[in-house]
Amino acid sequence: MSRFDQLAPSDLFKALESASPSDTLPGTETLLDAVRFNEQGLLPAIAQQFDSGEVLMMAWMNREALEETLATQRVCYYSRSRKKLWRKGETSGQQQQLKSAALDCDGDTLLLQVDQTGPACHTGRRSCFYLSVSEERATITSEPLIDPAALYGKK
């Protein structure tokens, strides 16, 4: 039993601000009930390569995608354009294996530590963050590792 178990979901993340590593936390189901999904039922999820710290991509998860990811250890997102679950790599083969998942202090953003196979970006680049911007100009910081046509077939 956790001292956090009797809290309303809306109060849980505020109460966790004072928690310590020795505290017993509520179960994952209770924690997911308190996650602050947006009006569309989505949560931003940032994928980071577990061993290098490289930020690979940001995508959206609904509760079903998050639960599947935690259960299978294979990252699953929610595709807003297709309006369905999107299992990373189902078309391209460029999968993400979950190493760990962490919610931020407000319970409204998820950080995924993953082991990425090949490029994470649909452009064939390792990371989706390849467009560097400054006050004066923008630059491309990386070349595609794989031709997107080879990843997804010709469209």
Residue numbers belonging to the annotated binding site for Mg(2+): 104, 106, 108
How many Å apart are CA 140 and CA 132, to the nearest integer?
Answer: 6
Known binding residues for Zn(2+) are 105, 121, 128
CB atoms under 10 Å from CB of 154, counted, come to: 6
Known binding residues are 104-106, 108, 121, 128
**What is the enclosing helix (H) or strand (E) of 70?**
helix 63-72
CA 51 to chain centre: 16
**CA neighbor of 9 nearest in space, from 40, 31, 26, 42:** 31
